[in-house]
Amino acid sequence: MVTNGDEILFVKLVQQEQRLYGLSRVFAPLSSGEEFCNAVQIFKRIGRASGQAGSA
């Protein structure tokens, strides 16, 4: 996650022989309720994924 305080950009690392990075669109959660909900949903997915990785 990269942020400037107002906007959020998510970065995903795809581990292969050569490292590849995927970038999300820029989210501005303070601009609207929909943007806020979208960002929260991504945080929840990250939380669930990290919880699964820790229990394996």
1, 9 Cβ separation under 8 angstroms: yes
C-alpha–C-alpha distance, residues 50 and 27, integer Å: 21
Token pair of 55 as six digits: 């229990």
Please report the pLDDT score of residue 52 as a whole number: 73
pLDDT at 30: 93
pLDDT tens digits along 4-52: 999 999 999 888 888 899 999 999 999 999 999 999 999 999 999 888 7
pLDDT(53) > 80: no
Q: How confident is the model at residue 55 (pLDDT cuts 50, 70, 90)?
A: low
